[in-house]
Amino acid sequence: MGIFIDAFRGGLAMLVSGAADVWTIVLVSVQVSGAAVLLALVLGIPIGFMLGTKRFVGRRMMLVIANTGMGLPPVVVGLVVAMLLSRRGPLGSLELLYSRPAMVIAQLVIAVPMVAAVSAAAVSAVPRELRLQARSLGASPLQVAIMTLREARMGLLASVAAGFGSIISEVGAVTMVGGNLAGKTRVMTTAIVQYTRMGDYGAALALAVVLMAMVLAVNILLTRVQQSAERYEQ
């Protein structure tokens, strides 16, 4: 067990002393995944709203795609995004490969189906009659949509948590499109892989603790959401 104790001591020292390396990595992680999650909400919630409330041709198909997207293998996303952004790819002229925007794009592709599927479920749990009721009191279509999202807010929070949780701990895609460049595109997960390979268990464990803390926080939020979700079932 000595290995754990030593690594723990070393890692703790790093975190406490504010070793620039470790905290930069954490910061890059939060920036990339934060940006990706925000964009995923902007795109995913309207899609989820459509899927959850409207009846249109192709809806079932889109739901299947969104639900499949939740299980999309990140390495596949990494591969496709890397190919798109590679010098010979269709978006190669943007020169984005091995940059943070490339990582944001890859994480976005992973998170949007997740956010769309979870928010579709949340929105469709709002009774149709409630929307009819809002309309009957004079609400415009936009006002009905705002009311619906407000009613589904706990579920929407869950979609944020699910989206964030899925990409902050993802390693395959970000390595492939980010390249794990120190100080630039190195994030917690890729750094943990790197430090572990180098035998620097202290640094790896320190990052693992921070990552775990974030995932734990997200899951605590999710659990609380689920507890307060039994609202129309009285």
Partner 1 sequence: MSAPKPADIVVEGVRKSYRGKTVVDVDRLELKAGRTLGLLGPSGSGKSTLLSMIGLLERPDAGTVSVDGREVNATDRQTRMSMAAAFQRPYLFKGTVGDNVAYGLRLRRVPASDTRDRVEAVLTRVGLQGWQDRSALTLSGGEAQRVALARALVLEPRILLLDEPLASLDPVMKWRLARDFARILREEGKTTLYVTHDQDEVLAIADDVAIMRQGRVVASGTGDQVFGLPADDWIAGFLGMEPSIRGRVLDVKDGVARVDCGGVTLYAVAPVAPGAEVLLGVRPEDVVLFEADAIVPLTSARNKIQAVVVQIDPSGSTYRVVIERGPVRIAAKISRSALVDLRLSEGTPVQALFKATAVRVAST
Binding residues for partner 1 (CB under 8 A): 127, 129-130, 132-140, 143, 147, 150-151, 231, 234
Nearer to partner 1, 2 or 138 (CB): 138
Q: How far is the CB of 41 from partner 1 (least distance, A)?
A: 21
Q: How far is the CB of 231 from partner 1 (least distance, A)?
A: 6
Q: How far is residue 145's CA from residue 131's CA, in Å, rounded to a whole number?
A: 8
Q: How far is the CB of 127 from partner 1 (least distance, A)?
A: 6
Nearer to partner 1, 133 or 219 (CB): 133
Structure tokens at 112: 């949007």
Q: What angle, rounded to 10 degrees, do the helices at 128-136 and 141-151 form?
A: 140
Nearer to partner 1, 60 or 153 (CB): 153
Matching residue, tokens 């890397």 = 82
Nearer to partner 1, 71 or 138 (CB): 138
Q: Is 34 exposed, middle or buried (0-12, 13-18, 19+ CB in 10 A)?
A: middle
**What is the distance of C-alpha 135 from the center of its chain?**
34
Q: How far is the CB of 205 from partner 1 (least distance, A)?
A: 43
Q: How far is the CB of 119 from partner 1 (least distance, A)?
A: 17
Nearer to partner 1, 17 or 228 (CB): 228
Q: How far is residue 43's CA from residue 37's CA, in Å, rounded to a whole number?
A: 10
Rg (CA), the chain: 21
